[in-house]
Structure 1
Amino acid sequence: MDSRTGARRAVRPGLFLLATAFSVLGLISTYLYFVHTTTGQFIDESALVEAAVPRQKIGTQVSYFLDLLPIISLVTGVVVVLFVTIWRRRWLASAIAILAMGAANASTQLFKTMLPERPDQGIATLNFNSLPSGHSTLAASAAVGVFLVVSPRWRPFAAFIGASFAILSGTSTLINQWHRPADVLAAYLMVAAWACLAGWLIMRWGGSWNIWQGYSAHWASSRLWPLLSALFGVAAAVVSCVLLSRLNSPGAQSSTDYFFSGVALIVIAGYLLTVAGTLLFSFEARRRPLIVD
């Protein structure tokens, strides 16, 4: 409830809970396929091994970025959230967003700790569990924190920029051979699940600012931003299919194809989850009337 207006939104939890369920299901499926199947382990591990090739060229720069990533994520997320909180007085929404960011990061560490070691599927790999990626969770949760507290007209733009930052962060962990592609994908799905739960609470109780006039009302809410996300995601999917189909050819060998397929998986997940989130929040912000108590 907005302390100044006494307004709340008549938002039912159905779509948000459904989105949460799909995110959790995707997280479990990612774990089962890439950790518990031979094919999944082979694709994931091959991408990690082939990352040594680009690492030789840009490994130093990537390592420097990864060292700065925690502070970049925290400063960016906290500064924007605090600015919106103080300037726009969105106290409850900001509190929910911060709690969701914390819950996503805590859940990642708990998930990683509680899962058993990777089973032996005949693939040469380290047997300790690295899924989900903590760095990727931190970057994605910071982006989501900003997305949750900004007004609806800014959300499409914030989603695209946040997704791009999270994808850059996830790709960097792969290049530096800290994490496999599935670790990054699992991190995005973990954050998505908490974002959907927090989103319903903010849309329900966040106040009268959570209304939207449509995609043409402001440049930051242009259809261009979800369209770009969708195009990048689809393009990455096409690239991944071409690379993997080429690897299925008789006698085919790979030096970087699995690596680029892994990068494509990160891009697909990051941008297409962004499109889904943007559409969900935009739809709910526009369709529900205010109820004044």
Structure 2
Amino acid sequence: MINTTEPTPDRLAEAWRRVSDTSPADEADPLVLDCARRLAADPGGERAHVWVAGLVAMSGYLAWRPGREAERTALDALRAAVQELGDRPCPHDDHPYEADMRALEDEIWQGDTGLLTGELAAGDGDVDAERILCPRNVAGWARLAVDVIAPFTVRRVPVGAPEGHRSAISTFSGIVNDYPYGDPAEDLIDEAGSLPARPTRGVLAGYLVTMNATCWYAASERITDRSVPDAMIKGVEAAVALLGDDDPCAHAPGEHPSTDDPDHTSRVGYLLRSPGGRAEISEDYGWDSEDEEDHEDEPLDAWVCPAFLHELAAETLVALD
């Protein structure tokens, strides 16, 4: 294992790049814990940007099936960084982390934060080190990482679903409102086969919500090709196998979302799949972006609740059978 006692940016990046959703916990957790503990020790310090960069780089692992201690420690450290850095005064109208929100899906670990070196790999001359290393930009990346690992548990993520997701929302809105723009059978089969092998919680939830929103159409007389519902059944069953059910449902009776409106539900299905999309859901439900105190808000994390998703999947499979 790489020794990070006296880390340099290159050595850190090399170590963190090895951590992915396929990494075994006994190899990944020590690196995550080392990074998170360094951040937690001084979340507002001059090296905070380095440790936030590391946790963003390893968020693909943390968003899949990390060790419980690694996940908890990373989330606590990232939230502490948000708390310490997020409201510091700065002269900037915007920050680099916001620039690509309309292209940013949940795979933030594939993006270019620039936080290790103060430079973006793309070489954008308009973005200088001062803006990249601005405390509010560091806090922004920390927020994104928290939201990917534990959706709907952090506020003030910029609103803006990726353009590709916007296009999918339009496609499925047409289908569920009975005026498809293209070939609905082809669109539904493509969607049924779109689930990644190791999805984030938001992507997995979004997939199952989309399948539920469109299942009535696939099971109707509008679709005469049996391969469409069969593909959807196969996809839903594969998704259910990925749902964790170790933790009991934390929601009170009636707190799981309603999916009675297929148009709304199909829209949510794609908004769930990105930080900016989830921020749009939060905005729809009236979360105050400037107020992070506890309130009696809609429990938006119910959209990614495994118990809710198990129920939704069962309902979908019955409709498609």
Q: TM-score, normalised by structure 2?
A: 0.25
